Amino acid sequence: MSAVRWALALGWPTPLFLPVLLAAGLALAAVGPVIERLLRPIYDRDESFQLLLTFALVLMFEDVIRFVWGTAPHQLGNVYLAYGQVRVGALTVPTYNLIVIACSAGIAAGMGWFLARTRFGRIVRATAENREMAAAMGVDMTRVYARVFTLGVALGTVGGALVIPATAAVNEMGIELIVEAFAVVVIGGLGSMRGAFAGALVVGVVKAVAIATWPEVEMLAIYVIVIAVLVLRPAGLFARATA
């Protein structure tokens, strides 16, 4: 979860085409292991401390980005419509949007398959259920954590990369997206892939509906839902048995 947050800010790509976009996103995931190393000492502390450390990293990365790429927002205006548009019923939708949807669905399905079918996927799920048991059975915790974290980072960077053609890349992207990512995870439930997907859909739809009907309520609505979820079903809509 924490990885997704700040990694979204890193989704800055230099290339122009979709595959290169994805590749750049993946490449940037290389920072994953480094960050995980930093987070390791505080795994056992209160989760609030982990939140704080993530906040610290967000601050640091904001400036790293500023350093490397400057402060002005970057645009990829032309690419957005490079794939043309498509008519769906009465609406005209840029093909890029459909491609992004397809990619997300593909990635989601891929993650699902990965967790359910592959050996490593099963190890991840086991570790999530019961850390000590898994360790007792010989699973190397450090490596699992490092890999999972990097995977999370990769998802974040790729996600960020995919979003770029539609919006500009701004320094504060990370911070704003953190709040939305937070809402997504809370609504969907910590530790559930389906939940994250559902949460993202909820947030996206609510935002769209709000903008269309009562713009002022856009951000408000999301937080009201977050609060409602935290109160009614603290573990999220797709809660796991072990939170």
Can residue 70 be called a binding residue for other proteins (CB under 8 A)? no
Binding to other proteins by residue 62, rule CB under 8 A?
yes
Question: Applying CB under 8 A, does 173 fall inside the site for other proteins?
Answer: no
Task: For residue 59, state whether it binds other proteins (rule: CB under 8 A).
Answer: yes
Query: Shortest distance, CB of residue 49 to other proteins, whole angstroms?
Result: 5
Q: Which of 145, 154, 226, 238 forms a contact with other proteins (CB under 8 A)?
A: 226
Instruction: Show the DSSP H helices in the chain as ranges.
Output: 2-7, 18-28, 31-39, 47-69, 77-80, 95-117, 119-129, 131-136, 141-163, 173-188, 193-213, 217-232
Residue of the chain from 23, 26, 51, 139 that contacts other proteins (CB under 8 A): 51
Q: Could you give the angle at the alpha carbon of 66 between the alpha carbons of 65 and 69, nearest 5°? A: 75
Check residue 44 for interaction with other proteins (CB under 8 A): no
Contact residue for other proteins among 217, 237, 239, 240 (CB under 8 A): 217
Q: What is the DSSP letter of 9?
A: G
The token duo for 100 is 């992004």
Question: How far are the Cα atoms of 17, 28, 101, 208 from residue 201, in angstroms, in the given order?
Answer: 26, 26, 11, 10
In the bound state with other proteins, the residue whose beta carbon lies nearer, of 52 and 109, is 52
Using the rule CB under 8 A, is 223 a contact of other proteins?
Answer: yes
User: Taking CB under 8 A as the rule, does residue 230 contact other proteins?
Assistant: yes
CB 164 → other proteins: shortest distance, Å?
Answer: 22
* Backbone φ, ψ for residue 77 (5° rounding): -45, -55
DSSP one-letter code for 8: G
Integer angstrom CA distances of residue 116 from 94, 109, 112, 120, 202:
34, 11, 6, 9, 25
Binding site for other proteins (CB under 8 A): 38, 41-42, 45-49, 51-53, 55-64, 66-67, 175, 179, 182-183, 186, 215-220, 223-224, 226-227, 230-231, 234
